[in-house]
């Protein structure tokens, strides 16, 4: 448990568009830690599963969806979750589909990312300090956590007597700068690059989780076909919102169904990002400023 941490809290859930709270959990309390990077997007809810296991929940865009994807305080969000003792993050996101076979309503657990954000978001905890570090990011999502999550999501979405929701894995997500959606030309270009999905919010969130040595996996829900289908109109918010409500209900169901097993897996060692930054720091200790060490010590043990 971290100094300000919650006993036995290991899993943090970040809710995206349409997912502003969880249901069927027992509310414990709300916390709003001020981090060296400011306050998180919303107060963080601590709730327990039926077994008594605690989980943390944070609404990425705020509970009233008042924070634009370019302005999400991702550093504060990740730092706040880490300060509570969270070791693994399950993030949810509403995404556009760049592939015919990924239909609105489908769930996708991607394994790769293409960064099309435009350097207007703070992307590193080391930014603004005199400490230089380069995190390894070849596999942007925690492979071991993803390996646990995929079968759990598939199992959670099997519906008795009904068609099950399709779950795709090993897909590539393009993260673009919003808030406007893509042009048709961009949408075609992303497909040619190998993109399968598109959203506006997984970066820098996943990069920051890696810098803070948190395991991070994404459960994406497709809401639309973006702008690449020649005979269809390009994506609109109305179209996204139409699918969003059903997707959010399914996401809430998935969350409460998988969290117990996920907690056990993380307690048992799944998610191996802890220690991953140890050899990423270039600036020798004797050249690091005390104030930078204090700030970075909030998220990493190498600055104590």
Ligand X SMILES: Nc1ncnc2[nH]cnc12
| Closest approach of ligand LNRAV4D5 to the CB of residue 70, in Å | 9
Report the catalytic residues: 224, 226
Among 72, 76, 94, 281, binds ligand X (CB under 6 A): 94
Binding partner of residue 198 among ligand LNRAV4D5, ligand X, none, CB cut-off 5 to 8 Å per kind: ligand X
Total residues at the site for ligand LNRAV4D5 (CB under 6 A)?
A: 12
Q: What is the CA radius of gyration of the chain?
A: 19
Two tokens, residue 76:
């504060």
- What phi and psi values does residue 192 have, to the nearest 5 degrees? -65, -30
Which residue, 40, 51, 60, 59, is CA-closest to 8?
A: 51
| Closest approach of ligand LNRAV4D5 to the CB of residue 236, in Å | 10
Which residue's Cβ has the minimum distance to ligand X?
Answer: 96
SS3 content of the chain, % helix, strand, coil (to 5): 30, 20, 50
Which residue, 213, 144, 141, 151, is CA-closest to 171?
A: 141
Q: Within 10 Å of residue 138's Cβ, how many Cβ atoms?
A: 5
Among 10, 95, 206, 296, binds ligand X (CB under 6 A): 95
Among 224, 251, 254, 298, binds ligand X (CB under 6 A): 224
| Closest approach of ligand X to the CB of residue 43, in Å | 25
Contact characters 89-128, ligand LNRAV4D5, x per CB under 6 A: ----xx----------------------------------
DSSP 162-200: SPPPPEEES-EEEEE--SSPPPHHHHHHHHHHT--EEES
Site for ligand LNRAV4D5 in 136-155 (CB under 6 A): none
Q: Residue 240, interface with ligand LNRAV4D5 (CB under 6 A)?
A: yes
Among 240, 250, 270, 277, binds ligand X (CB under 6 A): 240
Site for ligand LNRAV4D5 in 155-194 (CB under 6 A): 178
Q: Are 102 and 162 in contact (CB under 8 A)?
A: no
- Alpha helices (H) in the chain, listed in sequence order: 74-83, 143-156, 184-193, 205-211, 237-267, 290-296
Two tokens, residue 198:
């598109």
Q: Is 17 annotated as a binding residue?
A: yes
Residue with tokens 């009904």: 162
| Closest approach of ligand X to the CB of residue 257, in Å | 24
Site for ligand X in 162-201 (CB under 6 A): 176, 181, 198-200
Q: Residue 60, interface with ligand LNRAV4D5 (CB under 6 A)?
A: yes
| Closest approach of ligand X to the CB of residue 168, in Å | 15
Q: What angle, 0 to 180 degrees and rounded to 10, lies between the N-to-C axes of helices 143-156 and 237-267?
A: 110
CA–CA dist 110, 146 (Å, integer)? 9
Q: Annotated binding site for substrate: which residue ranges?
A: 200, 224-226
Q: Which parts are annotated binding residues for phosphate? A: 17, 60-61, 93-94, 201
Residues that bind ligand LNRAV4D5 (CB under 6 A): 16-17, 60-61, 69, 93-94, 178, 199-201, 240
């Amino acid at each position: 448990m971290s100094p300000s941490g919650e006993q036995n809290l290991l899993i943090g859930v970040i809710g995206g568009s349409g997912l502003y709270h969880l249901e069927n959990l027992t509310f414990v309390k709300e916390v709003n830690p001020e981090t060296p990077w400011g306050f998180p997007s919303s107060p963080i809810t601590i709730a327990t599963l039926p077994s008594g296991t605690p989980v943390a929940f944070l609404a990425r865009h705020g509970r009233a969806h008042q924070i634009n994807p370019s302005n999400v305080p991702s550093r504060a969000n990740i730092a706040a979750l880490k300060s509570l003792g969270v070791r693994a993050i399950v993030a949810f996101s509403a995404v556009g589909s760049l592939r015919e076979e990924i239909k609105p309503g489908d769930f996708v657990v991607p394994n790769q990312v293409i960064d099309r954000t435009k350097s207007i978001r703070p992307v590193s905890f080391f930014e603004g300090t005199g400490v230089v570090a380069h995190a390894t990011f070849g596999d942007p999502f925690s492979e071991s956590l993803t390996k646990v999550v995929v079968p759990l999501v598939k199992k959670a979405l099997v519906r008795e007597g009904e068609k099950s929701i399709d779950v795709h894995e090993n897909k590539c997500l393009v993260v673009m700068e919003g808030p406007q959606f893509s042009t048709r030309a961009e949408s075609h270009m992303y497909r040619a690059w190998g993109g399968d999905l598109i959203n506006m919010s997984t970066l820098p969130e996943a990069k920051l989780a890696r810098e803070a040595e948190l395991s991070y996996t994404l459960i994406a829900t497709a809401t639309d076909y973006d702008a690449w289908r020649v005979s269809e109109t390009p994506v609109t918010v109305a179209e996204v919102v139409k699918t969003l409500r059903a997707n959010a209900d399914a996401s809430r169901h998935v969350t409460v169904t998988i969290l117990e097993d996920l907690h056990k897996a993380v307690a048992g060692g799944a998610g191996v990002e802890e220690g991953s930054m140890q050899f990423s720091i270039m600036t020798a200790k004797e050249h690091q400023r005390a104030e930078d060490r204090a700030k970075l010590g909030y998220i990493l043990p190498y600055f104590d």
